[in-house]
Chain A
Amino acid sequence: MATRCVDRELLNDWHIVADQESLSQDAPFATRLLGVDLAVHNRSNKIEVVRSDTGATLKSAERYGFIWVCLDKPWRDIIYIPEANEADRHLVNGGSIAVKVSGLRAVENFLDMGHFPFIHTGWLGEEPHTEVAPYKVEITPQDEVVATECKFYQPIASPTAKEGFIVDYIYKVIRPYTVALYKSNPIQKHRLDVITLFVQPVDEENCVAHPYLCYLKEGMEAATVRSFMQLIFAQDKPILENQVPKRLPLDPRAETPIRADAVSVSYRRWLRDRAVTYGAIPAQA
């Protein structure tokens, strides 16, 4: 039996529950959000999301190729991604994948460069280039966690990379279960490719990762963008699923961070400050 969520921050926000492409006309798609079982109906292309317990139809929306739902009254709009309006970008759903771990762990893993040489060996990192150089972390006026000046040596940083180079990253935690990565484009060096990871909190120890990719089209095919994302994410999946505990501990003493974890330390503090408990092990008072 899944725990119900009591965090207003999450109940009054929008979450993805399905990708539009995979919905069938024939049968409703069963999923779960914050411990609540849902059925996503696609009747003659009209989307309806229904709670299985009460039968109530929920407020839903379609954006970025995904179906969005809010379990209560939305306090704010769905995240705005300006790059999604740029005509020279591929806008690709990377393929929604279920992961048996708290979604907060998935967000934190996405923020971590330290694991690149060991988990994404030969792609996003390789020994002996294991050092995470110091980077900056701050909270923006929009109350997001941002890490800048992140640099890492990557043998194959993107689907079209021909050789290793030092890649510049910016990370941004936009909402508790949403994180974006901005990566310098190998051809148009002043512009950034954007990967937004929308994580659906299925329950406290299960999530679905819905990656949304905004890559510059120049020299790149949409299918390649998608398959590269899956290649990388499937390397993370078993690591995530073997994390213990499955929920993210917010007590600063629970897991010992190193300097490379500065952004994760800020993320956990930011979750504490916003009283996010769902998918977390709250800090002891």
Chain B
Amino acid sequence: MITLYDYELSGNCYKLRLLMSFLGIDYKTVPVDFYPGREHKSEWFLKLNPLGQLPVIEDDGLILRDAQAILVYLAARYDPSRSWYPLDNPALLGEVSQWLAFADGITSTSSAARLHDGLFYDFDIDAARAGAHRLFRILDEHLWFGEQQGRNWICSASHPTIADIACFPYIILSEEGGIPRQDYPAIRRWCDRVKRIKGFTVMSGVFPAGPGKIAA
């Protein structure tokens, strides 16, 4: 069975819990005391991941780190529909990779702001927030133009991909870092769509979508 080295309040760990929930995969977790215990910097954990970062998974003897890399692996191996990571579509795969890298940028800005505000991390908060707003503006425009063309998701497909999962957590948690989403209506609509994907699950700080309106 897949083992996830997990911390409840980590958006990067949440990405994997989300995908595994969408795919209906069973897994077990090993809780890592990220805060205040700093167990991700402990000797035993550094043997799993010398970078000292969560998440890590272990599956059939394979040890893998980095949320985006693990999303790729899990979707490629366990999604029989081949939609979350569309292996048969090179152009779409390229798009997915592009937005996975973008998601890393969201982590280094929006997630950093959240760690600064909530858990006392010594980061440049103004730079973190400004960086997040820059990325949110780009994504909001991208999603808005997509909606005009009838596209609901980040990549050019009629279904969500792991790019949506990778971008979601630190966007939905952005207010904890003092980054409001009022100015990003297309992002807000997209967040609601993600929350309505079958199998969606929450983490602490994320709430489910309200009940859908019945069409008149």
A binding-site residues for B, Cβ under 8 Å: 19, 21-22, 27, 29, 93, 95-100, 223-224, 226-227, 230-235, 237-238, 241
Chain A contact surface mostly: helix
Q: A96-B36, A98-B118 are in contact. Are A235 and B205 (CB under 8 A)?
A: yes
Q: A230-B8, A234-B204, A237-B176 are in contact. Are A95 and B35 (CB under 8 A)?
A: yes
Which among B7, B37, B119, B176 is the interface contact of A241 at CB below 8 angstroms? B176
Instruction: Please determine whether B117 and A98 come into contact, CB atoms closer than 8 angstroms.
Output: yes
Q: Write the chain A residue with the least CB distance to B206.
A: A238
- Interfacial chain B residues near A235, Cβ < 8 Å: 204-205
Instruction: Please determine whether B175 and A234 come into contact, CB atoms closer than 8 angstroms.
Output: no
Instruction: Please determine whether B120 and A230 come into contact, CB atoms closer than 8 angstroms.
Output: no
Instruction: Please determine whether B8 and A231 come into contact, CB atoms closer than 8 angstroms.
Output: yes
Instruction: Please determine whether A21 and B8 come into contact, CB atoms closer than 8 angstroms.
Output: no
Instruction: Please determine whether B36 and A234 come into contact, CB atoms closer than 8 angstroms.
Output: no
Instruction: Please determine whether A100 and B117 come into contact, CB atoms closer than 8 angstroms.
Output: yes
A96 to B9, CA, bound (A): 13
User: Does B185 count as interface, using CB distance less than 8 angstroms?
Assistant: no
23 contacts between A and B (CB under 8 A): A19-B36, A21-B36, A21-B37, A22-B120, A93-B36, A95-B36, A96-B36, A96-B120, A97-B119, A98-B120, A99-B118, A100-B117, A224-B31, A230-B35, A232-B204, A234-B8, A234-B204, A237-B118, A237-B176, A237-B205, A238-B175, A238-B176, A241-B176
Give a binary string over B30-70; 1 marks a CB under 8 Å from any A CB, 0 the rest: 01010111000000000000000000000000000000000
Shortest C-beta distance, A2 to chain B (Å), equals 16
Shortest C-beta distance, B112 to chain A (Å), equals 15
- Interfacial chain B residues near A238, Cβ < 8 Å: 175-176, 205, 207
- Interfacial chain B residues near A234, Cβ < 8 Å: 8-9, 204-205
Q: Which 4 A-B pairs have the closest CB atoms?
A: A234-B204, A235-B204, A231-B8, A95-B36
Give a binary string over B14-41; 1 marks a CB under 8 Å from any A CB, 0 the rest: 0000000000000000010101110000
- Interfacial chain A residues near B119, Cβ < 8 Å: 97-98
Instruction: Please determine whether A227 and B205 come into contact, CB atoms closer than 8 angstroms.
Output: no
- Interfacial chain A residues near B7, Cβ < 8 Å: 227
- Interfacial chain B residues near A27, Cβ < 8 Å: 122
Q: Write the chain B residue with the least CB distance to A24.
A: B122
A233 to B119, CA, bound (A): 13
Q: A98-B120, A234-B204, A237-B205 are in contact. Are A223 and B37 (CB under 8 A)?
A: yes
Instruction: Please determine whether B31 and A223 come into contact, CB atoms closer than 8 angstroms.
Output: yes
Instruction: Please determine whether A226 and B33 come into contact, CB atoms closer than 8 angstroms.
Output: yes
A22 to B118, CA, bound (A): 14
Q: Write the chain B residue with the least CB distance to A120.
A: B204
A234 to B205, CA, bound (A): 6
A99 to B176, CA, bound (A): 9
Q: Write the chain B residue with the least CB distance to A93.
A: B36
Instruction: Please determine whether A241 and B175 come into contact, CB atoms closer than 8 angstroms.
Output: yes
- Interfacial chain A residues near B36, Cβ < 8 Å: 19, 21-22, 93, 95-96
- Interfacial chain A residues near B31, Cβ < 8 Å: 223-224, 227
